[in-house]
Amino acid sequence: MGQTQSRRGPIARSSTWPRSCGALRAGEKVLIAMWTAAFDASGHGHDQDCLSVAGFIAYADRWDDFVPEWHQRLLPLRYWHTTEHKKRTDIRSRLVDMIPDFAVAKFGSAIRFDTFAQLPNPPKPAANRLNALALCGSQCVEKVYSWARSQGVPLDRVAFVFGEGDYEKDVLVNVLNASGYQTPDFRYDRDGVIKGIPHKGFIPLQASDLLVGSGNSGR
C-alpha cells in the first residue's frame, strides 16, 4: 500500500480491488449513490524529503458502516495515527485487512521536495501559486474523476474530504477551482474540540493516514 516516489517528478498511482469494482457494473446504485473520496497528506519540507497524498473512495453510506468496524479493530487504541502507532503492527494488520471490504479504489500521488523546487513555477499572485500539496492533491482528484468515468459514476455524485490541518490548504482549493473542480471539505480525522469548538471527525481519514503514512516514513 506504499506510495511511489520518484526522483524525476510527480508520480500519481491508483489501484482498485477487482472484486469490489466488478460489482459496480451490476446495478444502478452506481448511478444514484453518493460517493466520498477521503485523502490525507504526509510530509513536510523541514524534516522529510517527500510529500504524499493518498486515500480511498467508497459509497458514502459504506463509510457509515466502516466506522464501527474500524473502532472495533482499533481496540485498545481510540484512534489510528501512523506516526504515533507505527509499532502496533498487530493493529495495523487488522485495519489493512478490512479496508477492501468498504473502499473500492485507492489513489495516491507523491513528489520529492527537491524535485518540486526544480519545476517551472514562476512568481504569481497568492491565489494562483502552486505548492507540493496542491500539486499532489489535484492529481489525486483527477485520478478519482478518471476512475469515476471508467466506472460510469456520474461526477456530480462524487464528494471529496481532505484532512484538516494540512498546511496551505487554500492553495489546494485555488488550484482545484482554477481547474474547474469542486471545493473539497476539510475535516479532522476524529472527534475533538479545537479552540473551544467541537468537531465531528471523519473517521475514514484515519485509513487514508494509514495508507499515506506507509509510504512516507520521514528519513
52, 53, 96, 211 from 43: Cα distances, Å: 6, 9, 21, 13
- H or E stretch including 74? helix 60-74
How far, in whole angstroms, is CA 207 from its chain's centroid? Answer: 9
* 128 — pLDDT class (breaks 50, 70, 90): low
Q: What is the pTM of this model?
A: 0.80
Q: What is the pLDDT, as a whole number, of residue 132?
A: 85
For the domain spanning 11-213, the CATH number is 3.30.420.10
Evaluate if residue 109 carries a pLDDT over 90. Answer: yes
Q: What is the pLDDT, as a whole number, of residue 96?
A: 94
Domain spans of the chain, in order of start = 11-213
What integer is the mean pLDDT of 120-134?
Answer: 66
Among 15-19, 75-79, 131-135, 145-149, the range scoring the smallest mean pLDDT is 15-19
Q: What is the pLDDT, as a whole number, of residue 68?
A: 97
Q: Is the dihedral of CA 192, 197, 200, 201 positive or negative?
A: negative
* 123 — pLDDT class (breaks 50, 70, 90): low
